[in-house]
A and B are shown apart, each in its own frame.
Chain A
């Protein structure tokens, strides 16, 4: 069996149809949409179409879509842009389990005089909305909370959070890179002000992101320069990337339900079999409110990197929350925030699936994993027979 790719929360395969749409834009239609000539100007129509495709998936107006260079730029723009537009307010609320593209930005704000409140999560990785309600006040400029967690797949109740934040006249940003394409969204019905997504997480190309900016949201541009994206993001457009992202969004919208049913079936099969066949392992994260493609399982008394390397020998690609470098005592800031004990946190493995995975791949993994766990446990001084 070839490569079995179960690391789709890290990045995904570009869909063939997406690549086909992008191809002519490199050597044939390479013009600059800002040019006055027809050759360049016609590219503008391609971008307009991509904007419509993205808006279609998000359930919003095309004018509310801003293309960026990726999820990280979208997050940075949302946070810094929202704060710059309301300089009198000095508090930001976020969570302890955000992606570094949000958490690092927020922590940096502290050294610029901002007060940053990090909400905690419970053992299942859930937020306490009462805590959020207690923390928002007149000084709160921005609330930035991820839609779903990249490590555990736990989904936060963003619509409810958005209502709460809107009532208090603060801006809500959500990092939705793990959600778009995996759950149906309708932003026109929601109070979300800013939402980040990334093309390469939904079978689009790397290097393109989107920031949804709800009409009327005050936001100072992050990248300054030309007048592209209606003055909201300067820089010549990444035309192939934008067109590819548009196509990826169109495909996601078409196949969302069917794909998710299949992916969820495969994920559940994999998860149940592992939990059943491997002793001393536990599921991390709220099983009720979870992305259909993600499972995060801790294998006690053994270490994640060793498991990954053993899986790698069979061509199975997964990921581990633990970064076993000398410098990081932390197994994973997400699992630690959830209070997962050290015995389990060091040995956590994330499998994240996509529509390209097959039942055969799942079966193969179910066959190969238990002996690996057994073999590593044989080595562990903490397992007493």
Chain B
């Protein structure tokens, strides 16, 4: 059971400003059914350019509904210049705080507000443009977005980033990249985290190399694929060629090529040897969810 503040409970049980503003000046839509939460924010300006009315519709858990509700209260009476400065932290603070794992709800609120303001300034441009380069493909989170939650909330670990914007919470394939963004943004603040990964040594014997490849697949690669309902199997190693097969959801996934090149090969190069390259064994591609050849 989540520990929600009275204010969160109040806004959940008695949400303010539900619905859509008639003939809105700005519309912001973020999230999706697949991601588990979505928010549509609409607002109307008065003659002085201040937000006169704001309404929301939200699909999501109690805290998603509460943050949307409180957001509409917070922005009423603000000019757009003031509204754009509302951070996710402001929203969470207004509610007396949110559980750490629910902070992404406050980020969704801020994103919807931004999208709605952009929509107004762009003269009714429909889609909220993503800024930067996509890092987390599962939830469609960009490097700019990650940088921003890290900076605004003083985050130092990948887990925190996941709590705040979901990035890294799907397959986990982008966690190394998130770590780099944290390091770049926070510099010295980042705590040293012990890595349990196998360390690359000097020259490896063939047996050592094979064991290290298997260990890397088991510990570094499989968990990421698992999160997508897939799996990987090591078929053979010929010199520097590592032959693998993808199972389960991965076998038919359009991202399989991408997953293999970007995740498997990169991990094997990082943990075992720069010279390794990966090939997919298509002969043994089998029925879905069958994990053996």
Contacts and interface: CB of A to CB of B under 8 A. Distances in A.
Interface of A: 91, 96, 107, 110-111, 115-120, 135, 301-303, 305-306, 309-310, 313, 322, 324-331, 336, 342-343, 346, 378-382
A325 B101 contact: yes
A-B CB proximity, top 3 nearest = A381-B57, A305-B61, A381-B40
B166 A326 contact: yes
A302 B59 contact: yes
Contact of A110 (B13, B40, B102, B222): B222
B58 A379 contact: yes
16 contacts: A301-B59, A303-B37, A303-B59, A305-B2, A305-B61, A324-B36, A325-B101, A325-B102, A326-B166, A327-B162, A329-B170, A343-B33, A380-B57, A380-B58, A381-B57, A382-B38
Nearest to A336: B229
Interface stretch (B78-86, B254-262, B284-292): B284-292
Contacts of B61: 303, 305-306, 324
A376 to B, nearest CB: 8
Contacts of A378: 18
Contacts of B15: 379
Nearest to A328: B169
Nearest to A305: B61
Contacts of A305: 2, 61-62
B201 to A, nearest CB: 21
Interface string B222-239: 100011010000000000
A111 B289 contact: no
Interface in B8-65: 12-13, 15, 18, 29, 33-40, 57-62, 64-65
A346 B58 CA distance: 14
B62 A327 contact: no
Contacts of B139: 329
Nearest to B12: A309
Contact of B290 (A110, A117, A302, A330): A117
Contacts of A135: 290
Interface in B122-173: 138-139, 159, 162-166, 169-170
A380 B104 contact: no
B160 to A, nearest CB: 10
A118 B291 contact: yes
B163 A117 contact: no
Interface string B204-231: 0000000000000011001000110100
Nearest to A320: B61
A210 to B, nearest CB: 29
B62 A306 contact: yes
Contacts of A330: 227
B291 to A, nearest CB: 6
B289 A326 contact: no
Contacts of B229: 336
Given A326-B104, A328-B169, A379 B65 contact: yes
Nearest to B35: A329
B57 to A, nearest CB: 4
Contacts of B33: 301, 342-343, 346, 382
Contacts of B165: 326
A313 B104 contact: no
B218 A381 contact: no
A27 B158 CA distance: 50
Contacts of B169: 326-329
Contacts of A116: 291
Contacts of B13: 310, 313
A331 B36 contact: yes
Of B37, B59, B292, the most chain A CB neighbours within 10 A belong to B59
Contact of A381 (B36, B58, B101, B227): B58
B159 to A, nearest CB: 8
Nearest to B57: A381
B100 to A, nearest CB: 9
A200 B201 CA distance: 51
Contacts of A111: 218-219, 222
Nearest to B18: A379
Of B18, B65, B164, B170, the most chain A CB neighbours within 10 A belong to B65
Contacts of B62: 305-306, 309
Interface in B82-126: 101-104
Nearest to A377: B59
Nearest to B288: A120
Contact of B60 (A115, A306, A342): A306
A343 B36 CA distance: 9
Contacts of A327: 101, 159, 162-163, 169
Given A324-B60, A329-B138, A381-B40, A342 B34 contact: yes
A66 B218 CA distance: 34
Given A120-B289, A381-B57, 18 more contacts: A115-B291, A117-B291, A305-B62, A306-B60, A306-B61, A309-B62, A326-B102, A327-B159, A329-B34, A329-B170, A330-B227, A342-B33, A343-B33, A379-B58, A380-B58, A380-B59, A381-B29, A381-B39
A327 B227 CA distance: 10
Nearest to B249: A336
Contacts of A381: 29, 38-40, 57-59
Contact of B36 (A115, A120, A322, A336): A322
Contacts of A118: 248, 289, 291
A326 B141 CA distance: 13
Of B36, B159, B165, B226, the most chain A CB neighbours within 10 A belong to B36
A382 B138 CA distance: 21
Given A326-B104, A327-B163, A378-B18, A303 B292 contact: no
